[in-house]
Structure 1
C-alpha cells in the first residue's frame, strides 16, 4: 500500500491542495527533467535526428502501460484533448445516423466537436441528464444514457468519470450498448487516466483522449490520443513532415512522401517531439507506472473513506460507492450552507478545491494526507453550524 508521497512534491506545508482535477503539482523529478531539458535547448547542435523520434516511442510505450494497451503505435501525442477529438470528428462516417449521445454537463471540449458535427450533418444531440431528486442517482443516470442509444446513434461521447462531480460511468456497459447499435464510443479520460484503472483491452473504446497535466502529473500542453482500427485510414487535421513514412531519413525529406506512418502515427500533432514537454511527461509516467494506478486509486479511497459519513451527517450528498470514483469526490452541499461563505473560508484556510454550482469537487492524490481532509472537514462543519 502506498504511503503519503508529499515529500516528492514542492507543496508548501500550510497548503491543503485538494484540487488535482484542476491541475497537478509537479513532482520534483518532473521539474528537474524540465530544467535539464530547457538547458539542453541552449546547445541544439547536440540534438541529433533520433531525438525527434526515439523519446516519443518511449513515451507512447509508457502511456500504453498505464492503459494496458498492447500496441503503442495506436497512440498519438497531442497538445490537448480537443485536438484528439478534432481528429475523430473529422473522420466520422455518418452513414445515415441521426443522433449523438452525451451526458449532461460534459466538459466543453467534449461537446463543441460534436456540436459542430451535428450542425454540419443535421444530427440531434441527445443530452442525458441525471435525476437529481431521487436515490440511486448514478445508477439511473447510467441506465438513462444506455437507453438513449439506439439504431440511429452515431456515437456516445463521455468521460470515465464526470469531470464536475466524479460520477463514474459504466464504460463496459456503454461499449455493449454501442456495439448493439453500431455506434462509436469516444472517451475523454482526462479526469481519470492515471488515477482510476482503465483497461483498453476490456473497454475497447473507438477513441480515447487524455490531457497530461492532471492525473498523469505531466506539463501543460501535452496529452495522448488512442485510435482504434476504425481510424487507421483517416485523414489527420494537419499535415506535418514527421507523420509521413520514412521521415526519420532527414536527407530525403525533400522527396515528398504521400504515405503516412501506420496506425495512429498519422494523427501526431506537429512538433510532438517537444524537447521540454516530452522528458517531463516521460518522467511523470515512469513514476505513475512505478506506483501503479490501482494503488493510487486505493490511496484516495483510504484517505476519504472515514470522512464520508461525517459529510453526510451535516446533510451533504455523496454518490453511492458503485457509481463514484475515489480520487474525484463530488460533495453536494445542503441548502442551508452558504456556498460563497464556504469558498471564502476554504481560501482563508489554504484549502484548495473546485466549486461547481452548489457542490465541492475534492480531488485527492498521493501527496494528500489526513491533515488535508481534517482541514476540509473543519471548514465544512464550522459553516454548517453557522
Structure 2
C-alpha cells in the first residue's frame, strides 16, 4: 500500500511545533475549521434552515462512518461521547445473574464505569484481565473468557501504550460462549482498518476528536442489527417515527425511527459539529485508512528505533499498534517531568501511566521523528 506524503499543509500546525500526540487530541484540518465557521454562521439566518436540514446532514454523517468501518448507515447512532455510547451499550445488554463482564487492566474509564454499574444492577461481576508480563493481551483475554462470561468490553489497542488486542480472535471466542462483544474503537478507528461486517461486534463506539480528526463532543456508534430495537438513553422527539413531519410532532407515538437512529442524542442535527465531523471523515475516506496506516506505521517504528538506544523500552513489534507506541522510561527518569521538558522544546507527547506515549499522524514526517529523538536525547542526557 502506497503511503502519503506529509499532509501538514492541510492542518494549522505552526512551524517549529512537533506534534506527536494524536492519541490525546488531533489537530484540526483547515477544512474542518472552515466547516465549523460555516456552521456557526448558519444560525445568523435561521429562516434558511429548513426542516429537512435537521436530518439530511446527519444521514450523510452516518453514511461516511459506515463506509469507514465496513458497516451499514442504518446501524449508526450519533451521540456526544464514548461514555455515552458505552453507557448505551451497557443499558441494552442483559447479562445473566452472576455473569462476568470482562475488561482489561487500566482500561480507559469510559469503558469501565458503565460495566461496574451494570454489574451492580444485575448481580454480575466485573473481571479485570491483568496486564500480562509478555504483553500479549489477546492470549490473556482468551484465557479468561468462558461459559460464565456475559460481556467482553475491550479496545483494539491499549490506550496507554498501543499494545494490541486481536479483535478477530476475541470476537470468535465471544461467539463460542454466547457473550456480547463491545469495542471501544476510539484509539483505533481512522488510523487503522476495522470491519464490523467481519468482526460482528454488538457495539462499536468511537469518539471523534482523536483519530477521526473531528471535533470534541461527537461520537459515533455502530450497533449490530440484533440490538436495533432496544431502549434509548433519551426519550425525545427527534428519534421518533415521523419526526421529520414538524406539523405532526404532537401526534405522539411510541414508535422510533428505523435502525440505530432511536439511540441518537437530542439535538442530533448540531449544525456546527455534524458538518465538521463529516468533513473530517470525507478527508479520511479520500486518503483511505489503509494509506493512512501505511503512512503512520513507519513513523511509529522510527520512534522506537531512535528511542531504544537511549534506554527506552517499547512493546514487541508484533504486539504494538501501527500508530501509537508507549515507551517505558529507563531507571531514574520520571514521565511527567520528561514530557514537560520536551514540551518546552515544542515537542508534544503524552504521559500515560509510567510511559511516554507517542502517536504520529499524516501531518508528521521523519523530520519530526528526528526532532523528537534529538530533544529526547538532550532531555535524558
TM-score normalised per structure 2: 0.96
User: Is residue 98–residue 123 contact of structure 2 (8 Å, CA) maintained in 1?
Assistant: no
Distance 2:379 2:119 in 1: 45
Q: Name the structure 2 match of 1:138.
A: 135
Q: Does 1:213 align with 2:214?
A: no
> What CA distance in whole angstroms lies between the structure 1 residues aligned with 2:171 and 2:203?
12
Give 2:265's match in structure 1, choosing from 265, 269, 282. 269
Alignment of 1:171-186 (within 5 A): 171-186=167-182
Mapped contact 1:341–1:383 kept (Cα < 8 A): no
Instruction: Identify which of 262, 285, 289 aligns with 2:285.
Output: 289
Per-residue displacement from partner, 1:313-360 (whole Å, max 9, x unpaired)?
222211122221121111111213343442232022111110123211
- Partner of residue 358, structure 1: 354
SS of residue in 1 equivalent to 2:74: helix
Match of residue 82 from structure 1:
83
List 4+ stretches of structure 1 deviating above 6 A.
none
Which among 218, 222, 239 is matched to residue 222 of structure 1?
A: 218
How many residues align structurally?
A: 379
Higher mean C-alpha displacement, 184-193 vs 374-383: 374-383
Give how far 1:310 is off: 2.9
Pairing 1:287-326 to 2, within 5 Å after superposition: 287-326=283-322
CA deviation vs aligned residue, 1:65-92 (integer Å, no higher than 9, x gap): 11011x2110000001111111111122
Distance 2:74 2:303 in 1: 43
d(CA) in 2 for partners of 1:335 and 1:160? Answer: 29
Q: Is the 8 A contact 1:96 1:152 kept in 2?
A: no
- Does the residue aligned with 2:292 lie in a helix, a strand or coil? helix
Aligned pair 1:21/2:28, yes or no?
A: no
Specify the alignment match of 2:93 in structure 1.
92
Q: Which residue of 1 aligns with 2:33?
A: 31
Deviation, 1:96, is 3.8
Give the CA RMSD over aligned residues: 1.3
**Contact conserved, 1:97 with 1:154, CA < 8 A, in 2?**
no
What does residue 157 of structure 2 align with? 161
Question: Which secondary structure state, in structure 2, belongs to the residue aligned with residue 180 of structure 1?
Answer: helix
- Cα deviation for residue 165 of structure 1 reads 0.8
Equivalent in the alignment of 2:253: 257
Q: Decide whether aligned partners of structure 1 residues 67 and 340 sit closer, same or farther in structure 2, where only a CA change above 3 A counts.
A: closer
Residues 237 and 339 of structure 1, relative CA distance in 2, 3 Å threshold: closer
CA distance in structure 1 between the aligned counterparts of 2:93 and 2:132, rounded to whole angstroms: 31
User: SS at the partner of 1:156?
Assistant: strand
Change (3 A) 1:86 1:344: closer
| Contact 1:158–1:187, Cα closer than 8 Å, also in 2 | yes
Q: 2: CA distance between counterparts of 1:24 and 1:44? A: 31
Please give the alpha-carbon distance, in whole angstroms, between the structure 2 residues aligned to 1:344 and 1:93: 45
CA contact (8 A) 2:10 2:29 kept: yes
How far off its partner does 1:125 sit? Answer: 1.1
- The C-alpha deviation readout for 1:127-168, integer Å capped at 9, x for no partner, is 111234xxxx232x3111111111111101111111111111
Unpaired stretches in structure 2, ≥5 consecutive residues: none
